[in-house]
Amino acid sequence: MTTETGPGAHAGPDAAKPLDFIRTIVTDDLKAGRNGGRVHTRFPPEPNGYLHIGHAKAICLSFGVALEFGGKCNLRFDDTNPEKEDVEYVDAIREDVHWLGFDWEGREFYASDYFEQLYLWAEELIQKGLAYVDNLTPDEVREHRGTLTEPGRESPHRNRPVAESLDLFRRMRAGEFEDGGYTLRAKIDMASPNINMRDPALYRIRRAAHHRTGDAWCIYPMYDFAHALSDAIEGITHSLCTLEFEDHRPLYDWCVANCTVPSVPRQIEFARLNLTYTVMSKRRLLTLVQEGVVDGWDDPRMPTISGLRRRGYTPEAIREFAARIGVAKRENLVDVALLEDAVRDDLNRRAPRAMAVLRPLKVVIENYPEGEVETISLPLNPDRPEDGSRAVPFSRELYVERDDFMEEPPKKFFRLAPGREVRLRGTYFVTCVRAVKDDAGDVVELRCTYDPATRDGNAPDGRKPKATIHWVSAAHAMDAEARLYDRLFTSMTPGDEAGDGNWRTSLNPASLEVLACRVEPALAAARPGDRFQFERLGYFCVDRGSAPGRPVFNRTVTLKDTWARVAQRAGG
Ligand code: ATP
Ligand code: MG
């Protein structure tokens, strides 16, 4: 059983590694005495879906920087979009951030907590002549916006008197107008080369119940306005976000500069995480859930934090992955094998060993006394003798893995075959005498003999079989279910398929294989969430949906990256 540990107290960034560009900026700011020596970051999810591994990167960065520099990190829900948001998502996000090992120390905030203040700042902008109420239709706004090469055109309502805009804005709030009838727009520059600065909308009318404010509001602030000012309210010093917000930074700074805010935050952008064979947009993940392609947001094939948790990932592995990929300013595509390596490395150190037979083939040891049962003692973790050992029953009838036997073995196959001797993990040598077949010609049982002198896994004459295979005692093994997962998409870049909906065309029809398997009896004590290394097979985690007495084991990852090896071979 693996127990989770937190990221630990930090006395500064990892001295063994060169500072990334964000930690360099923070270090310089501290040296220059900016922000009164404070470091304050935030993680700002929109509660419109579950967090994914990309968010984990952002969490490790914002919470990590705060921890390393003795600062603080807030959890802020960016809930300005009432139609798509839900408390289910709020709860899941809180759980996932905590599970990753980070704590916001009670600083759990909501953009919706600031709606009144944001409204007052909007009035301030109107009064300063920096915002106006427009009644162009959405289509007209689009026509006026211009393009990357052509400047936009000013709305005929742009120079509406301040008093008139103020009156209209108050009536917008009071609910006098239909959805979309009016918008509040910043008055910046319709000829700006940055389209975000061409009089962006600050408020729109939306009659939708909000998961926190209910029906109190029928106007909602736009993301750019709400986000910048929420940062300012909370005294955020370094507002870390992904690159797609780079072009929004001038607007971010404009909002902060033109409202009477208590502090001046700085936005810094970094490259989002993109993973091979993985779809990461929340909208697409939601589609997979809604269409039943997967078993909910925490399906072990999902790249969500809850999916990875159910799959058997540890928070340590995810944090280590985030550390290994680092932060950079340029977009790139990370091989999902790197994520798998991180969990393999972590579980290799910590997961207790056990034996399970996924595709059982019966073995009868003809010269072993009927009715006798021995107890074989095997280490829980051969690399950590201090972890102790486990008792595994041995008897005349065993199960071994079907693909550990071949009737006509090719050259490099050293496992069981007629006349071939192998070692059973931790104990006796057995020799296959013959294979018993059914009417269809399929092998249904192996008849073997054993060498009683090899109980401790060694022969007195020093002979060594070329293969060791795992086994369970047929009478003692427990029935269980194994779920083997493969990539959800066969395309390396499923998010890039052209055309709407085409990202779904590369869904892998074989991403889940369910097997009835046999596991060693000590696993009867396993609890949901427990992780094991099944010898020679991979790492497995007990599913939360296991029925008592019949555990379900999710395969977290294979022992080696067999897929990469197969792909390599296929590619020559
Ligand atoms: P999606 O695009 O999947 O819907 P989002 O960016 O809209 O996600 P938010 O809830 O707004 O989701 O994200 C919260 C924070 O996480 C933001 O600061 C965002 O920059 C960051 N983030 C989102 N996706 C990634 C990613 N793939 N890599 C790194 N950070 C990310
Ligand atoms: Mg977003």
Q: Is the pLDDT of residue 15 over 80?
A: no
Ligand 1 residue neighbourhood (C-beta within 6 Å): 44-46, 54-55, 57-58, 241-242, 272-273, 280-283
Q: Give the number of other Cβ atoms within 10 Å of residue 96's Cβ.
A: 24
Percent of the chain at pLDDT exceeding 70: 95
Q: Is 46 a catalytic residue?
A: yes
Identify the nearest ligand to the CA of 245 by its number.
Answer: 1
- Write the DSSP symbol of residue 96: H
Angstrom distance (rounded) from CA 281 to CA 288: 11
Percent of the chain at pLDDT exceeding 90: 90
Whether 263 contacts 232, CB under 8 Å: yes
Identify the nearest ligand to the CA of 97 by its number.
Answer: 1
Whose alpha carbon is nearest atom 15 of ligand 1?
45
Q: Select which of 160, 173, 212, 282 is catalytic.
A: 282
Angstrom distance (rounded) from CA 150 to CA 193: 8
Q: Is the pLDDT of residue 473 over 90?
A: yes
pLDDT of residue 1: 45
Say how many Å lie between the CA of residue 467 and the centre of ligand 2.
53
Helix (H, G, I), strand (E, B) or coil at 365: strand
Domain with residues 115-222, CATH architecture:
Alpha-Beta Complex (3.90)
pLDDT tens per residue, range 153-172: 999 999 999 999 999 999 99
pLDDT, mean of residues 455-481 = 97
* Domains 115-222 and 351-477 are alike in CATH topology: no
Q: Which residues is 270 bridged to in the sheet?
A: 242
Helix (H) or strand (E) holding 77: strand 72-77
pLDDT of residue 253: 98
pLDDT, mean of residues 24-36 = 97
pLDDT tens per residue, range 358-414: 999 999 999 999 999 999 999 999 988 999 999 999 999 999 999 999 999 999 999
What is the pLDDT confidence band of residue 499, given thresholds at 50, 70 and 90? low
pLDDT of residue 572: 36
pLDDT, mean of residues 260-286 = 96
Q: Give the number of other Cβ atoms within 10 Å of residue 534's Cβ.
A: 24
pLDDT of residue 567: 52
Kindly state the tokens that stand for 319.
Answer: 């944090």
Say how many Å lie between the CA of residue 289 and the centre of ligand 1.
19
Return the residue matching tokens 């029925």: 547
Angstrom distance (rounded) from CA 226 to CA 524: 52
Say how many Å lie between the CA of residue 368 and the centre of ligand 1.
61
Name the average pLDDT for the chain. 94
Q: Which atom of ligand 1 is nearest to the CA of 242?
A: 20
Helix (H) or strand (E) holding 168: helix 162-174
Say how many Å lie between the CA of residue 46 and the centre of ligand 2.
6
pLDDT, mean of residues 432-461 = 97
Q: Is the pLDDT of residue 70 over 60?
A: yes
What is the pLDDT confidence band of residue 173, given thresholds at 50, 70 and 90? very high
pLDDT tens per residue, range 183-227: 999 999 999 999 999 999 999 999 999 999 999 999 999 999 999
Class of the CATH-defined domain 351-477: mainly beta
* Candidate CATH numbers 3.40.30.10, 3.40.50.620, 3.60.15.10, 3.40.50.720; the one for domain 21-110+226-344: 3.40.50.620
Domain ranges of the chain: 21-110+226-344, 115-222, 351-477
Identify the nearest ligand to the CA of 495 by its number.
Answer: 1
pLDDT, mean of residues 509-513 = 97
Return the residue matching tokens 């005498």: 433
Rounded CA Rg of the chain: 30
pLDDT tens per residue, range 300-351: 999 999 999 999 999 999 999 999 999 999 999 999 999 999 999 999 999 9
Strands 531-534 and 40-43: unpaired
